[in-house]
Every structure is written in C-alpha cells, then in structure tokens.
Amino acid sequence: MNTIENSRIMSDKDLATLGLQYVAYVKSVTVRGRVAYSIHAADGTEIAVLGDRDVALATIRQHDMEPVCVH
C-alpha cells in the first residue's frame, strides 16, 4: 500500500496528532481588546498567547518546531 492510500485510512484522531511534535500553529486573537498571537499544537491544544507575532514564531522555532500561520 502506498503512502497516499495509508493516509486515507487514518482516523480523525490520527490525523489530529499528525505532526504534533513538529508543527505549531499561530493565529491572531483578541485579548482584552488587543491583538495577540495564540500558539497551538497540531491537535489544536493552545500552548501560549503572546503579544507579538515575531516572538510567537521565534518561540516555536526555539522549541525545534515549524511554525504555520493560520488566517
């Protein structure tokens, strides 16, 4: 079975944890009327909220993860 076929039989839980240790998502949020940046694990778990986008991206990279921005 090739890789594409294997991905089709993954459960929702397997898909949610795919890349869990390697990818973190950054999305802008509003906290107390100000823009902040929320960092989430691949499964959607919130890890941190920071006030600066560049700091959020740097924080992810410092933990040997790849940042991905969510719009």
Can you read off the two tokens belonging to residue 11?
């459960």
Q: What does pLDDT average to in each consecutive run of 10 residues of the chain (71 residues)?
A: 58 68 91 95 89 96 90 68
User: Which of 28, 21, 42, 41 shows the shortest CA–CA distance to 71?
Assistant: 28
Q: According to the model, what pLDDT value does residue 47 have?
A: 92
Rounded to whole angstroms, how far apart are CA atoms 27 and 50? Answer: 10
CB of 24 within 8 A of CB of 40? yes
- pTM reported for the whole predicted model: 0.70
Q: Does residue 17 sit in helix, strand or coil?
A: helix
Report the pLDDT value the prediction gives residue 43, as an integer from 0 to 100.
78
